[in-house]
Amino acid sequence: MRPIPVREEIDFQGHKIRSYHFQTNSNKPPILFFHATGYSALTYQTLFDEWIQAGYSVHSIDFLSHGESSKSDDFSNWWPFRNQVLALKQKLSQESSMPPVLVGHSLGGANSLLAAAKDSNVTGVVALDPVVLGPITSYLTLFVKTPLAKIATNRRTTFKSLDIVRRSYRKSPAFKNFNDQVFEDYLTSCFVKNSDDSYSLALPREIEAKLFQTLTPGHWWQYRKIKVPVFAYITQNSDVCPLRSAKRLASKNKHSIYKVHESGSHFFPMEDCSDRCFELY
């Protein structure tokens, strides 16, 4: 039987952040997981299932405006998302003194790194194709609207049924190689049912666009502060974390490493669910 999470809420700057808890009786460090933009914690439950079976407790959140969390565009950069990572860590520190492993994909990977730079009381960080652009590229985002922001602005958000979403999205390059269970978990956790029985994306498209556009330069100043082991796991020819960035992330601690997934897909965590990236720790 598939594990069922305990759902709780975290008060965060006047908003409600949904948290999910899969608890095991284990002496292994707990895993705190953070998702990518446009997805949800439970999109990754197939990964969680693997980790739970291996004896890890797994805890996660839906970032602000995602999944079951409150909707708000009250942010102008990514620091509030780093602070949500720290809020979950703080909540769990009251229950366990064991430093957790921070694991994150894309947006979640970048903010796991930023959180570790702020609070080093973690076992390590596993960053799955994190959004860690080079310093010059990050600076250019101040002046050029990112293509992903434009795509988000024009995204269709409401459908008559989930079956229509299922058929339409499976044809998209972004979703066509998703593990079947991951894809179903995405549908059930990232869409909400409306009063007329239609379905809408849980993340409003204008907030998604703002998230893509508010990546600001200056994060490298924070990444240089990281003292804990980092596993930078990027994909081949990554658009969001070039190889040079991964190497720099892995240069700050003798136990840090980087690895390149050969698929070339930013979505390899949703496609290759048997890859137990946490085993570094």
Q: For residue 11, what is the domain's CATH number?
A: 3.40.50.1820
Which residues, 6+ apart, have CB-to-CB distance to 39 below 8 Å?
66, 105, 186, 190
Residue 33 lies in a domain: yes
Residue 162 lies in a domain: no
Domain total for the chain? Answer: 1
Using CA atoms of 30, 85, 120, 118 in order, give the dihedral in degrees to the nearest 10.
Answer: 180
DSSP letter at 60?
E
H-helix or E-strand spanning residue 127: strand 124-128
Residue 19 lies in a domain: yes
Residue 17 lies in a domain: yes
Residue 88 lies in a domain: yes
With vertex at residue 46, the alpha carbon angle to CA 52 and CA 33, rounded to the nearest 5 degrees, is: 65
pTM: 0.94
Residue 206 lies in a domain: no
Residue 28 lies in a domain: yes
pLDDT of residue 87: 98
Residue keyed to tokens 């407790």: 57
Q: Which amino acid is at 112?
A: S
DSSP letter at 164?
H
Q: Which residue segment(s) compose the domain that 107 sits in?
A: 6-142+216-280
Neighbours of 16 (CB within 10 A): 14
Mean pLDDT per 10-residue interval, the chain, length 281 residues: 96 98 93 98 96 94 98 94 98 89 97 97 96 64 57 84 96 94 98 97 95 76 93 93 94 94 93 68 51
